[in-house]
Structure formats: structure tokens, C-alpha cells
Structure 1
């Protein structure tokens, strides 16, 4: 008996399955009441039950589902065909095969097609129902990246056994012709052979009912649609081979891995420019996996560094089409290198504004009454004592280095007595001046943009819960180091739109047009505030109707405003980019490199988020996620008593939490010496990303439990 599915437009209804014409009228279909799959196999049958369906998923793709029953339910195998269940091969050679011998039951054309893709019979359980899905793009084109399917299917709610991507980057794909009537084994094999990608799902139990199988396929199809509906894999024009230089290679593979993998998937040849002695310099097999070449260059931050980098690039025998950096202190130098070589870049002046927190502050607030810049405590005292000075500090306020990152040496000052100490701390870092600005009271957010010519291709907001310095009694020593991130944002839609447009205008005002930007801001006068919502869970909740008073008696602002904190003209850091990649399917590092080489066509493709639109969930997110930072518990030397890293030990000890952890990264190894603070910011020893398909609160609760359960052993002095 062979079973197929009539192809038809996917409309969210149950698939209509039919039995091949050689079956009798009493054979059950998949539309019958629930019953085990064993019931469809007649003991006298000489063929294995074989279900399949082709579904037009959207304008971009069709999918073909194939279901093979386990050996325990099949006596022998004869492939599906359009007539009498006889394979095309046997129709020519005779029903018993070549020379009258019975062919091996697993050597059919269809099985060979699967085996050739590495999905052979050795991977199939002997007692489970095997399910495969072929991804079939609807048009011809060129593959934009080689790991497209893995990126779009990450954290898929149905367990996956294996993903086989059949297209290399730049490879030409020719769409196959789907026939509504062909269901021979050769036709089905051709669907496998012409697929852009193939998914083997974890086997189902052999006792699964036919109705449950229907619901399973329907769920697969819905989820695939949400991930592929708006995400083209192919470009209409050939993808040019390009080479891009990373100025300042990453300090280790943990931080650099996402960059190197993205370059490889995009087919970009990666050149590393850094000091002599960098770990990527040796020409080893491992290093060649990550970069094409290493150009040793003196990276001393002096007046000649741009000329030295340009000289290294000019000496390289192959053309380099773009340069980029992920190091904040090299933004301006990298832009100058690009300008000198005529490569794609935003203006040098834009980067000069972004790296100077006083200049970026002036994009939104004029200097004078509430904003000042001083180079020393002496200059501060002179400013405060000058009768002509327009600056009048209003407490609380913020003091931070004009040059800096990661909340280093940023202080909240609540009284005049702490102002000088905060300025001294800020000016001591990087030898830069200090900027004094208002403290904006409201939910803190990270806003990430992907722009092309000023147009927003992708935008997201991550909510940062209150940190040490947000406390009412926080002193000058309290830090603004983040403690967690939650996605998607709980801010009302109108406030998210205010954030989006306010920050986009400021980016363009600074001079930025194309690229990836990580912007920190606060929402003043938000309808939301952080409160304990029960059981120690702190999250954003509605303050009350506009115009009412807050608990502290202050009148609420009638309209929310977005106040810029700082602009980072790069993707979020490697750990902060993790939630976006998993929650929305956005690879910021890929976008950053494509912007650097001026490949705007593929930049538009990689900036497509998922298309999930479930009620109460922000469009584009596949679930709610919580990024948890694990701070050092005390100063001392790190120990691993169990022999496992803290994250691995947690997952071993708490398998219930392991199921909810998407990513877990340890920063320290046994014997490492750590302190409570590093460069004025909290020292973190790990980060973990957890998820929930239930609710935002559930994600936060899981994150809190992970933070409480993880064990970091530090041997004190």
C-alpha cells in the first residue's frame, strides 16, 4: 500500500491525504479517527506504507514532507509509483529486479537520494516513524549564504535530527517543476535531489495515531512558514566574491567565533589586521579555517596608525573590498582607512561623534544648563565657581568618560559632595575628559538597528532591568553594569515607535547611513515602570493612567520621550548579540560585514526577522528570551571542584533547567584570578540565554532560577 498527498495551497487546514489506486476501499486514510499507524499495514501487503505531501508554503518556498514507516511495520518494500505501486526500475527490469533477484529493500531510488545527502538508513530508528522535509525555493537564484537553513531553524520547537544544506554560497539554484499528479518513486527522489535543503526530524513513536501525525505535519508547516515566509535564500544576481579586512582581530575564539562563522557562510574571505603575536597569526590549519591571511601591523594608537594599516592592505597581493572593526577605540581609524582606500564607509565625522559621549549628547541636548565637559577636577571647580558659567548641576546626574565602553567608570551622582570624586574617576580612564549630563529616570533599553541609506531594515528593543545605580540610595560607587536583558520589549507599541524614530533621526543626524548600530537609551515618562510582580520577579508593569501620580508623588509626564545614552556604531557585543540571533533570527555580524563591502542586496536579505505573530508576542520573535549575566561572587581564584565548568555543571545537575537554556558560555578557567570589578564595571564570569514559549514572565523566572542555581567556586585570598 502506498499513500500520498494531493498538493494544494497551504491554508492552515488539515492536509488531505489519499491512498494510491491499488488499495482497496476499506483501507483507512489519514482523515479517519485516531488509530495507530500499524493499522494501515496489511500483513499480506508486499509494500511498505509511504506517506508524502507537497505544500506551497509561501511565495518563496514549497516544502515536501516524506514519512517512512519503521521496519517493524513493513514486511518488504516496493516504492510508490503512479500505477500499481511498481517502481520505474522494476517496471523495466521485471518485478524481481535484475536477473530475477529480489533487490535489497533499502536500495530504491528514493532511499539512494536520501543516502547521498548523508541521511541514509543507518540514521533511521528501527521502531520509529521517520519524517523528512525538503525545502524547495520557488524561483531560480544564487545562494546568499551557506548556513541559511540552520540560522532560520535554530531552536525549532519540533526536535531535529539533522539539517542538510545542499547549496554552497554563490551556487546557482534552478527551481524544480512541481507536478500535482506525479507521484512515482523517481519523481519523489527528484524532489530530494533538487531540494535546497533537507531536514530529518527526530523519529516519532510507531504508535502515533494518524490524526496526531496530521497535526504534527500541520504544526511543522506552520512553523516553517513563520521562519521562511519573508526570508529569501536566493538572490536574483550572481554573488560576487569579495574580501573584507577585520581591523583588530577578536581576543579569542569565543568572542570571534560568530564573526568568523558568518564570514565563511557568506563566502567572504576574511583578512585579520592586528599586532604581531596575535593568536590568529600562525598559519595553522585551525587558523586558516577562520581567516585567509593575517597582516601583522603595529596597532599603536598614534597619529601613524592609519597609514600603517593602509600600507598593510596595499601590500596584500589580492584586492580587499571593505574594512570593519568591532573595537570601539578603532572606529575612527577604520573609517579613515576606508576613506583613504575608497572603500564603503560612513563619514569619519559620524564616528568621531559616536565615540565622544559629549558630542553624541549634543545631538539631543545643547551644552550649558544641564550638560558640561571637563578635563579635570580643577576644571570642574573653575566651572562651578565661574559667575558666567551657564552650567547648573541638577541632581541626580551622570558623570562618565567621553571615551569608554561597557559602563566603565560611569557614576550616578546624587549630591554635590560626590561630583568631584566621579569626575576624578572618569578622567582617569583612557586619559579622556568627563561629560556631565542629566540622569534620565525611566526604563533603560538597548536598541539595535540595521540601516541601508537611512532606511530601517531591522529594529529591536531589549529591556534592561534596573542595575545597582538605579537604586534610590545608590552612591557614586554603584555601577551601571547590566544584569540581564529581556526580549521582546514590554514597552507599549507607541513608545517603541517613539524610540525607533527618535534614535533613527539621531543616527542620521550624526552622519550614519548604512550599517549596524547598537544604541543605548532611556524612555522618560514611560507608561511602564519596574516593580516586583510577585515571588521576587521584577519586570515592567503599567504605572497607571497618564496624568496620575507616581508612588513618590511626582506627576507623570504626559508623553514618553526617548533620551539617548550612547551610540555604538557596531553590532552589540558577542554576548548581547546572542539573544537577537536566537529570538529574531538576525545575524548582526553578517550584516556588519556586508555593509562594509557595500553588498546592500544581501544586507537586505540578512535583516529579515522571523515572521511569528502570535497574540501578545512582538512580531518577529519566536519566543521570549532572557539573557542572564553571572557576576563574580568574590575576589580570588576560580576552581572547578567537579571538573566541569560552572555552566556545564549546572546543566548536569539541573536537567530541568538545561531544557530551557539556549546558550551558556563560561569566561573563566580553573586557576584564573578574578576581582569583583574590572575597569570600574562588574566582573562577569558567564552568561546564559534562556527562553519561554509561554510568557515573558516565565522567561524571567527561569533566568532568575538559573542565576540562583549556578555555582561559581572562587577561592579567596
Structure 2
């Protein structure tokens, strides 16, 4: 089934003029038991279907009453068990009352709409791996969901109902299933103008879509799940970046302890903060020789056992690995982190002799270029080159260099950022990509490749001042399957050889000698096959840019969760807790095949998505003239784009100060996720429309003085662009 077929079907059901439910011919085609038994308040049809090996479902359609008297559509709870006018006395509807008891159904039961419900019934007993499983797997469903009921608590034992398949005419049986279901979904009402044939198509499409989302994703573990406690070193800077982490921990039944500085926003024992974490351990996080011992002491002094420790802050990777090693907690080797955070050492994993060097100053660069001056005398710059800090993130102070004069400028910029050395390396020409992995003992449980379109510094006319700040990200990748396989196998081997065998890893790379290139075709810039490339050509190589031993930042992790149904933050915490069974169970992507393509490289995404970064258009003070946040204002102003935007996150509020650049990288004010079930090209086109339509008012000051920080105490890959 092609997911792209859904929008047109949905439009047909919602707007196409069709025969009403009184049509005799339509009724004859469907053969449903639509007669109204004496015990029914409203006619309904229920059917139990074997969805897959893991689940059965019960689809229930509730029709309007045949009476034209409006009062007869009031629920029984409002009529004290009495039927409406013209009906006489009638018993309550057990099914409708069961729905109302869990907060579903309608307070008015409109006479002009058809209500549709789906009950999710796991096929076997088990223990709940994640309490918000349905919310995760059904996000951005092509048919609108009004409400979802998920009664299960994390880790609890669930006993399967195991009903017989086929039609269900007893409301009492359906009511019992409501009470025993693992979840119930109420879909958006359908108009009564929908024919029986179209309603049958709707039920079929609904079932097929549910199968694509659920058939390979176990909600339950066959064995009991021990409750565990994990410590997050460095809490998130705000609820926007931290919310997905805290909510995932709660849904997984993980008790979360935060280790951070005095004054962090999660420190206070407010009721809201207690929803996000179990405890806050005040710790001096100064990055000195004693920080590891201080973190260890905080964890040892906590009265409850700690089963895992992790961080999402790049400059604490090594320290946290040392903490885990000292306490005997699950973690990759310290040596692996020490290599990954040093961009010179990680570059040497794919060394190009004579083209890679490390310098601490412009003077050392000059010495390096002097023949025979030191052991690196073999270094011979071949332009273009890349210069970047050995310790850095978010494309900060990364420069493309085309001549010796610019080389000195780039080294000065890189060494001034964090007080660290600069690495000089080759510029690898080819499509850039983000390759994300979830590994378990070296096995790839899940991996995806996202394409990063060319940025300013990729241009042939780029200067040393051009930036590598990303402008967008497109999922899934358009690279051919064989090149994606090369990227995954090359980078996976690098990770495992370093010692990174279990966890979530965000790796940036380029595909050199790719058969694809970015080209403008009819106004859309995307990857297409090179004109000069033949099927006999070969030689594609994956070249590592950097390793991040963590999930991608919030801006990318949440779009992946929407596109594939895989939550990197959840996987990261389960790996830290050593919960290998749930790590395997919770990393199953959807089973969609986009555009009918059976290429496994495109399997799993429910749509093509385009993550659009919005850079600050000017320096100054943020204003909201309309009193609406810019993402919300855009969706109200452009309703034709609104239903294509599944995420919109603003970073700034009125009064915030923004600069055009922050530490050598573009300052962002928002990001949006735009999706298409029609084509990748359509997703890119929509993303460009959204980027052009986005408007933020920035009041320019009389003068703006740029300041360059000489260091920072914490690194947040999701750092917002506003001060």
C-alpha cells in the first residue's frame, strides 16, 4: 500500500458528494448488520480483525439514530436511561457508556456524523515497554485522531483478551473489549453523506495503515521489566529541548535523576519539576580535574541505586564515561570518547597522508609550513582545505580555505574559539549526510541517512568567512541503496573498532565520488544522478567528518521520531541503563514503503520530510507585532501550508537579542518540519515555500557589537539562537 494514496482518499471521504446511508443499493454491497436490535441506542457495526501476529483490532462504526428527533441523540447518561421522543423506554448502550467512562465518544452524538473507533488488542500477555506507545506509533496518522486512550502504566503486566475474529453484534461484548483493550482510538467523525462503499474503503485503508505502524513493533515484553534509575549529567537548558527526554523517561518507567549546577531550572522541588525528574543533585560542574570525582560523589551519596549515567552535552562525554567506568555502569570505553571528541584524532581514523595536521597557533602553522621544521614537515596543503577547532560543535568556526593567506585566518579563528588547537584536513567534495545509528553489541538495530543540501561554504565561490551552518535536512536519503550501504558499513565499522558497540550515535560524513549530485531541476535543488555517471562507474567512498556519541540534537531527533517512529532519546537512556531487551524492542521503524518503491533504503519512513532551519534575517531585538509566535502566525496566514507542517518550534520571545552569527555559525530563530506523502520533491518544494513565508520582526539597534566567547561551561547541541 502506498501511503501517498491516503490524502486523496481522505479528501474523498470528507468532501465527495455520495449517496446517504439510506441508499438500498449501497447497503446491499456492504452486507453489514445495520438493523437496530432492541438493546441498541444507536446502530453500530463492530468487527474484530487479526491485524498481525502481535495485535488484533476491533473497528467499531457507530451510526446516527434513525430518529429525526434531536433529543434522541443525547447520551443515556443525560436521559437517565430513557429513550428520546418517539422511542419510549430503552436501556443504556453498554458500549457507548464504556466509551464515555474512559473519556471518549461525544457529548452530543450528532445526528449528522458517523463515529469510528478502533480498539487495540495485543495478542499475548506481556509487560508494558512504553506507556505512550500508541501516541508514538500513531503520530501524524493520515486520518485525523480526535482522542486516544492509553490506560497502561509502564512496566505493568497486561493480560490479553484474545477475542474471536469476525463481526460483533453484542454491545456487551464490545463494552468488555473496551475495558480490556490496551488502547482505544477515536477517529474524526465522518459525514453521513459518505456511501457504504466509501466507508468500506475507509476501514480498509485504516486497517492497512495501522498494520504498517504496528506489525513489527512489540508493545509488550514477554519477560518482566525491572525498574531502573538513570542519571542525566547536565539537564537540558529548557523544557523545549528537555521535554522529549523527560517524557520518554516517564513513559519508559525510568526514574530520572539530574546532576547539574546550583540554580538550574529543574532544581526547585516544584510539582512541575517533579513530573520531569525524581531528584536534582546539586554538583559543581566546573570543568577541571576534580569534576569526575564530584559527579561520582553526588551519585554515591544518593540513597537509591543508580543503574546508568549519560549526558547529552558534548564536553562532558569523557567525564561521564569515566564516571560510568568508576561505578561499573554500562558505557563505552573512555578511550572511544577521547578519540571522538578530538577532531584531529578522529580524522586520523581515515588519514590522508600529508593533508592532515594539528596546530595550536598561527605561529605553529608558519613553523609547520617551513620545510624540515618538525615531524609534521611532510604536510603539504592541497586546496581546498577545512580548518576547524579540535574541540567544537554546531559548525562553529569551521572554515573552507582556498589559499595560504586564508589558512592563517582560519587557524586564528579556530584556535580562539575554545582555546584548543585547530585541525587542518582535506575538503571532501560530495553530498553531505547525517548517518544515525542505534547499535546493540555491534549490531545495527536501526540506522537512517538524512541528506544535508549544500550550504554557503560548499559553493565554488565560498570564502574563508562562509559558513557550514546547515539550511535544511531531507529524510529519507535520495542516495542510491549501494552508496547508503557503503556509508552505513564504513561508519559502523569505525564506531565498533573504536569501542562504540552499544548506544545511539550521530555521525556526519560525505559521499566522495558519488553517482549523485545536487542540481537545480525546474526550481527544486535535490540529489539527482550525474549526467556523466554510468552504471559501470564505481569508487564511491564514505568519508567521516565527525562522530557524536549521542543522539542528534533535539532539532533532528524529534523529526526522526515523527518520520520513522523511532525515539533516539529513549534508546539512549535504555542503552545507558543496560536494558538491552527494550532497546531492541523500541527501535523498530514503521513498515511504510514510499512511492511503492521496494528499495529497503526507503523502507520505514511514513512520509518524506524536510527539516527547515530559519536563520536570523538581521541582528537586533525580536518583536511579535501580531502577538503570535512566528510559527503559529505562519500557519494562520498560510492555511494551505499549515497541514503540511507537523512541527514548528520558535526559539525566541519578544525582547530577545539576536546576532546574525554566533561563534562563527549562523544564528537560528526557529525550525519547522514539513512533510509530503506525495514525493520527496514535493517535500523540498514545500520546505522552500515555508522558509520564504516565515516572517519574524527584528528591530535593529543603532549599533551592534559582536562578541566572541572564549569558552563555555556547557555544550548544548540544541542551543537556541536567542540570548
The residue aligned with 1:125 is: 110
The residue aligned with 2:228 is: 242
Q: Is residue 135 from structure 1 mapped to residue 124 from structure 2 by the alignment?
A: no
Q: Distance in 2 between matches of 1:599 and 1:584?
A: 22
The residue aligned with 1:686 is: 670
Q: Distance in 2 between matches of 1:28 and 1:65?
A: 23
**Aligned with 1:122: secondary structure?**
coil
Q: Return 5+ residue gaps in structure 1 as ranges.
A: 1-25, 79-94, 549-555
Normalised TM-score (structure 2): 0.88
1:538 CA drift (Å): 0.8
Summarize the alignment of residues 551-562 of structure 1 with structure 2, pairs less than 5 Å apart.
558-562=538-542
The residue aligned with 1:164 is: 149
Match of 2:392 among 367, 390, 404: 404
The residue aligned with 2:423 is: 435
Q: Distance in 1 between matches of 2:699 and 2:554?
A: 28
Q: Residues 39 and 90 of structure 2 are in contact (CA less than 8 Å); yes or no, is this contact kept in structure 1? A: no
1:546 CA drift (Å): 3.1
The residue aligned with 2:550 is: 570
Match of 2:410 among 395, 398, 422: 422
Q: Distance in 1 between matches of 2:156 and 2:39?
A: 44
Summarize the alignment of residues 436-455 of structure 1 with structure 2, pairs less than 5 Å apart.
436-455=424-443
**Aligned with 1:201: secondary structure?**
strand
Match of 1:541 among 528, 531, 538: 528
1:604 CA drift (Å): 0.7
The residue aligned with 2:50 is: 56
Q: Is residue 510 from structure 1 mapped to residue 495 from structure 2 by the alignment?
A: no
Q: Distance in 1 between matches of 2:345 and 2:27?
A: 67
1:653 CA drift (Å): 0.8
Summarize the alignment of residues 25-424 of structure 1 with structure 2, pairs less than 5 Å apart.
32-33=28-29, 48-71=42-65, 107-122=92-107, 124-180=109-165, 183-365=169-351, 368-387=353-372, 389-424=377-412
1:71 CA drift (Å): 3.7
1:218 CA drift (Å): 0.1
Match of 1:477 among 445, 465, 475: 465
Q: Distance in 2 between matches of 1:33 and 1:709?
A: 48
Match of 1:645 among 606, 617, 629: 629
Q: Distance in 2 between matches of 1:710 and 1:508?
A: 42
The residue aligned with 1:633 is: 617
Q: Distance in 1 between matches of 2:58 and 2:233?
A: 44
Give the number of the structure with larger relative contact order, counting CA–CA contacts within 8 Å between residues 6 or more apart.
2
Q: Is residue 609 from structure 1 mapped to residue 589 from structure 2 by the alignment?
A: yes
**Aligned with 2:419: secondary structure?**
coil
1:30 CA drift (Å): 6.7
1:40 CA drift (Å): 5.8
Q: Residues 624 and 654 of structure 2 are in contact (CA less than 8 Å); yes or no, is this contact kept in structure 1? A: yes
For residues 201 and 299 of structure 1, do their structure 2 counterparts lie closer, same or farther at Cα, with a shift above 3 Å needed? same
The residue aligned with 1:5 is: none
Q: Distance in 1 between matches of 2:38 and 2:566?
A: 53
Q: Residues 34 and 209 of structure 1 are in contact (CA less than 8 Å); yes or no, is this contact kept in structure 2? A: no
1:202 CA drift (Å): 0.6
Q: Distance in 1 between matches of 2:295 and 2:165?
A: 59
Q: Distance in 2 between matches of 1:236 and 1:445?
A: 37
Deviates more, 1:460-469 or 1:186-195: 186-195
Q: Distance in 2 between matches of 1:44 and 1:457?
A: 53
The residue aligned with 1:697 is: 681
Deviates more, 1:378-387 or 1:393-402: 378-387
Q: Return 5+ residue gaps in structure 2 as ranges.
A: 1-21, 73-80, 702-723
Match of 1:526 among 507, 514, 528: 514
The residue aligned with 1:595 is: 575
**Aligned with 1:687: secondary structure?**
strand
Q: Residues 71 and 127 of structure 1 are in contact (CA less than 8 Å); yes or no, is this contact kept in structure 2? A: no
Q: Residues 375 and 432 of structure 1 are in contact (CA less than 8 Å); yes or no, is this contact kept in structure 2? A: yes
